[in-house]
Amino acid sequence: MSTPFPPRGAVPLLPTLRPGCFHLGIEPLPTDTPVYCEDTSDPVDIFGFRAYRVLHSEQTDFQNVLIADLVNLGRALFLDGVLQSSEYDEALYHESLVQPALLALDNPRDVLIIGGGEGATLRESLSHPCVKKVTMVDIDPKVVAACEKHLPTWHRNGFRDPRAKVVHTDGRAFVENDDSFYDLAIIDVVDMFDNGPAQRIYTKQFYQHLKKRLRPNGIVVVQGMEFSHVDFQQHSALVRTLRTVFPQVHSYQVAIPSFLSPWGYVIASDWFDPRDWTPSRWDARLAKRLGQDALQHLDGDFISRSFMLCKETRRLLAMPGLVLSDDEKYIHPTEVEDITESLPVYPARKEQKR
């Protein structure tokens, strides 16, 4: 009699904990038995990333923090069991989040970041010499401290730049009480609508407050979660919400390998339309501002292509639906657990007559 294989490979070295909890770090981890960091963000699927070292594991007042060295992705940050960024592709994610909006602005001086604890969004913002001040608002000082210690290639000493100001408070409260003005506001917070505190950063009321803090021709750019013709509901809700506040709202899409999905971004303003920007115009602005080869991933061709969505994705994005509001809960699409009736099997097969 053969021995059945255990689920998802070898038996874990460490006992199972409830989702979002992690064991204290062991450095280095023994390598004779695989150890996995599990991403539990999907309600159905679980993704395991094999690790060989845990550098930091902590439960803060706000979330569980894990920084580990992964076999295939290098060093990575997990918050509440969800992969936030990895060493091998964080530059692609953060360049895509920050650079198109900054390059579109003629002379950006003041940047506001909500979230961005790793410091990489800060790094990309500070790469522009014309930027005089970047205010980063992250609610969790322990996350920022852990990232400053263990993720040096993310922030590249950006926290120590005299142009940087880091504030540890709630992002919504900061915007509502702030009296400063910004050329660019970047929203880089957790990527799920779970009706928790962070969702207040995605509602129309928040963006109404935020628009009051923008200078004329100011831009807002938001990380837009998983986004494809397969997974579009949350991104579409975000786009509809921004369109209640800004006349120009555009989605773009980049494949981030560690996220296991195409990733969405949304750029919103009173004026910016990516159709006005050719690859050569992007390249000219990039060369003048930073130097033609300053970025690792983005150039004019890449930026222009990222705004080109497939026909089916455009159709789904244009559909009517929920607008995110302080007064209404976000209703998720039907999940497997909600379906009680038996599921049909496809393709249906007719019984063959004898």
94 is in an annotated binding site: yes
The catalytic residue among 39, 89, 188, 191 is: 188
Q: Which residues contact 83 (CB under 8 A, 6 or more apart)?
A: 37, 39, 41, 47, 49, 76, 77, 258, 259
DSSP per residue over 52-70, as a string? EEEEEEEE-SS-EEEEEEE
The answer to the question of whether 209 is labelled as a binding residue is: no
Distance CA 221, CA 265 (A): 7
DSSP-assigned letter for residue 43: S
Strand order in the sheet with 248-256: 164-167, 133-137, 110-115, 182-188, 214-226, 261-269, 248-256
Residue 56 labelled as part of a binding site? no
Contact yes or no for 254/339 (Cβ under 8 A): no
Cis peptide before 28, with omega less than 30 degrees from 0? Answer: yes
Residue 188 catalytic? Answer: yes
Give the bridge partners for 166, in sequence order: 136
Give the Cα separation of 274 and 66 in Å (integer).
Answer: 37
Least Cα distance to 58 among 80, 82, 74, 27 occurs for: 80
Q: Is 63 annotated as a binding residue?
A: yes
- C-alpha distance from residue 296 to each of 174, 286, 354 (Å): 33, 12, 65
H or E stretch at 230: none
How many beta carbons lie within 10 A of that of residue 83, not counting itself? 22
User: Which stretches of the chain are assigned E, i.e. beta strand?
Assistant: 35-39, 47-59, 64-70, 74-79, 82-86, 110-115, 133-137, 164-167, 182-188, 214-226, 248-256, 261-269
Residue 34 is labelled as binding a ligand: no
The four Cα atoms 311, 316, 320, 323 give a dihedral, to 10 degrees, of -120
The token duo for 156 is: 């590249």
Cβ atoms of 316 and 227 closer than 8 Å: no
The answer on whether 341 is annotated among ligand-binding residues is no
- The response to whether 171 counts as a known ligand-binding position is yes
- Active-site positions read 188
Binding residues for spermidine: 94, 118
Binding residues for S-methyl-5'-thioadenosine: 63, 138, 170-171, 197
Binding residues: 63, 94, 118, 138, 170-171, 197
